[in-house]
Amino acid sequence: MVPIRVLPAIPPTISPRVDPDHVSSVICALALLRPDMNAPDIFKMKRMYLFVTVVTFWRVAVFPILIVTIWLRQLPLFSALLALSFLTDAVDGFLARRYHVTSRTGAEWDSLGDDLTVAAAIIGMFVFRWDFIVQVQLFIFIVAALFLIHTLAAVGRYGRLTSFHTWMAKASAVAQAIFFLILFFSASPPYVIFYVAVILTMLDLLEEIAMILSLDEWETDIRGWFDLRRRQKNRFSDHSHFPR
């Protein structure tokens, strides 16, 4: 007979990152699959869920502070907070993958934090680096137009923004972070990195627009266009084996 382990009651926590039902399911699964885990280990995992939640929420909450620093023309403080926001984005993503902290709500909050961080950086660029904006305004207009098409397509199809988290989106996010940090911390604009970030961002937006047009229901954590096609092919194959 398999011994039954009695787990301590863990109160559910509602947060942007943590889905209480998902947390309970993961903890119960760990208790069954890993009988060597004791109560302290389980509580340690719970604390990690809460830590990732705080990191995700902080990136959203810091947006109005970034706007205030722009309004006050405090470039050093703005640059420091922006760098911290980009850093916590990387930490948040690593911890989420390392400890399997995933949920639909968490994915939406994570995407919101990414968008607000980039939005604050763009606003800061218009205020602190206007000369650079004038020189590259055509590329900025193209990216802005693609982003508008992407947003309208997502809202029109799903009623909300996407949270695909594709590999191309991750690559473009890294390039954008490097560009913005060098832009605000150095005296000369990094033109090469800017063009790399623009190309990756355009490819990301075009890929996600194609995914939106091909995907009927909102989903998250899709690696890219080919991953989406593979999933759709597998689903079609599974359905074709059902008896009629």
Q: How far apart, in whole angstroms, are the C-alpha atoms of residue 204 and residue 217? A: 19
pLDDT of residue 8: 46
Q: How far apart, in whole angstroms, are the C-alpha atoms of residue 122 and residue 141? A: 12
Q: How far apart, in whole angstroms, are the C-alpha atoms of residue 106 and residue 4? A: 32
pLDDT band at 110 (very low <50, low <70, confident <90, very high): confident
Please report the sign of the dihedral spanned by the C-alpha atoms of residue 187, residue 189, residue 192, residue 194. Answer: positive
The answer to whether residues 66 and 184 touch, using CB atoms and an 8 Å cutoff, is no
Angle at 132 (CA atoms; ends 191, 144), nearest 5 degrees: 85
Q: How far apart, in whole angstroms, are the C-alpha atoms of residue 59 and residue 129? A: 23
4 pLDDT more than 50: no
**What is the reported pTM?**
0.76
Average of pLDDT values for 4-14? 43
Q: 52-91: per-residue pLDDT in tens?
A: 778 888 889 999 999 999 999 999 999 999 999 998 888 8
pLDDT of residue 44: 62
